[in-house]
Amino acid sequence: MKKSFDFSAEAIVEVAKADAILALAEDVGAGDLTAGLIDPARSARAQVLARESAVICGSAWVEATILQLDPQARLTWHVRDGERCAANQVVLEIQGRAQALLTAERTALNFLQLLSAVASKTAGYVAAVQGTRAQIVDTRKTLPGLRLAQKYAVRTGGGTNHRIGLYDAVLIKENHIAAAGGIAQVLARAAAVAAQADFVQIEVEDLAELQQALNAGARMVLLDNMTLDQLREAVRINEGRASLEISGGVTQESLRSLAETGVDRISIGGLTKDVKAIDFSMRFHEL
């Protein structure tokens, strides 16, 4: 049974290579007609500038994209993944074949602008709950084909990954409960597959359902769209028996108040699905 992705440096490099190959195939097709106007023997150097402050993320994807087209290219990072850059700061310098750098430019920046945006947004949420016990957690609301990349970016921003997919953990939601015949019944069935999963979590919509879940032995509970008063009461009822997670309607403005209720985790789909790209540009100079 496949478990969660390990996010080792080696594994990230392999994921980045696979993503870069697909992205370049989508963009380049049979060949870059415009870059073909440039002498293949000409070399160039380029700088990547951040036009705004951000937490940098995606270096493996940038490198995989460029090295796929020019394996001899040299990349020098001035800001590493997880570090914050300032507006108008040079974050990367590249030296290589001009044609390859021109062809790689947009794909490399697409990866960098998306993943840095996810990391930056996550870092902002993490800072907002500092001093509480709450962890900021992502969801499966990711761009198709880029889930591992975006979940890596959440980690880079200081957040925590929820399950990677349907294969590595159990999350029992309203429709699962209805189909199984009730909270106690579905948790009993979940016990049979618990050894194959990283965790078993059940979603509840009110305090009565929370009590049912706790009575049935739940160890991870997702509190869906509850008010602050309900959340505080949920923490009191729970008495530390299960890990409590908030889901639904979380905003930057409400985040601190939610964290101060005493819950353990706050999951936010917007970390990966509602992101505004960070503005980067690449400037070329002939050698």
Mean pLDDT, residues 82-108: 98
Catalytic residue among 3, 74, 106, 236: 106
Is position 141 annotated as part of the catalytic site?
yes
Do 280 and 207 share a structural domain?
no
- In this structure, the number of other CB atoms found within 10 A of the CB of residue 61 comes to 28
Q: Which residue has the higher pLDDT, 60 or 4?
A: 60
Is position 151 annotated as part of the catalytic site?
no
pLDDT-based confidence at 3, cuts 50/70/90? low
Do 145 and 248 share a structural domain?
yes
Do 114 and 55 share a structural domain?
yes
pLDDT digits (tens, 9 = 90+) for 107-125: 999 999 999 999 999 999 9
Do 32 and 71 share a structural domain?
yes
133 sits in the region (left: phi over 0; alpha: psi -120 to 50; else beta) called: alpha
Mean pLDDT, residues 166-189: 93
Distances (CA, A) of 78 to 46, 173, 284: 13, 45, 17
Do 202 and 89 share a structural domain?
no
Do 99 and 31 share a structural domain?
yes
**Is it the case that residue 199 has pLDDT exceeding 50?**
yes
Are 268 and 125 in contact by the 8 Å Cβ rule? The answer is: yes
pLDDT of res. 194 = 87
137 within a domain of the structure (yes/no): yes
Mean pLDDT, residues 5-27: 96
Is position 224 annotated as part of the catalytic site?
yes
pLDDT-based confidence at 285, cuts 50/70/90? confident
pLDDT of res. 1 = 40
The CATH number covering residue 136 comes to 3.20.20.70
186 within a domain of the structure (yes/no): yes
pLDDT of res. 248 = 87
In percent, how much of the chain has pLDDT > 70? Answer: 98
Do 42 and 86 share a structural domain?
yes
Is position 189 annotated as part of the catalytic site?
no
SS (H, E, C) the chain: CCCCCCCCHHHHHHHHHHHHHHHHHHHHCCCCCCHHHCCCCCEEEEEEEECCCEECCCHHHHHHHHHHHCCCCEEEECCCCCCEECCCEEEEEEEEEHHHHHHHHHHHHHHHHHHHHHHHHHHHHHHHCCCCCCEEECCCCCCCCCHHHHHHHHHHCCCECCCCCCCCCEEECHHHHHHHCCHHHHHHHHCCCHHHCCCEEEEECCHHHHHHHHHCCCCEEEEECCCHHHHHHHHHHHCCCCEEEEECCCCCCCHHHHHCCCCCEEECCHHHHCCCCCCEEEEEEEC
Do 158 and 233 share a structural domain?
yes
Do 113 and 29 share a structural domain?
yes
* This prediction's pTM: 0.94
- Overall number of domains in the chain: 2
Catalytic residue among 224, 233, 260, 279: 224
1 within a domain of the structure (yes/no): no
117 within a domain of the structure (yes/no): yes
pLDDT of res. 102 = 97
Q: Which tokens hold the place of 284?
A: 């070329």
The CATH number covering residue 20 comes to 3.90.1170.20
Give φ, ψ of 170 to 5 degrees: -110, 125
Catalytic residue among 173, 189, 219, 256: 173
Cα separation, 119 vs 138, in Å, equals 11
Sign of CA dihedral 82, 83, 86, 88: negative
2 within a domain of the structure (yes/no): no
Residue range of the domain that includes 36? 9-121+275-286
Do 53 and 138 share a structural domain?
no
266 within a domain of the structure (yes/no): yes
**Is it the case that residue 260 has pLDDT exceeding 80?**
yes
Is position 203 annotated as part of the catalytic site?
yes
CA of residue 138 relative to chain centroid, distance: 6
> Taking all residues of the chain, what is their mean pLDDT, rounded to a whole number?
95
3 within a domain of the structure (yes/no): no
Do 166 and 115 share a structural domain?
no
Do 155 and 264 share a structural domain?
yes
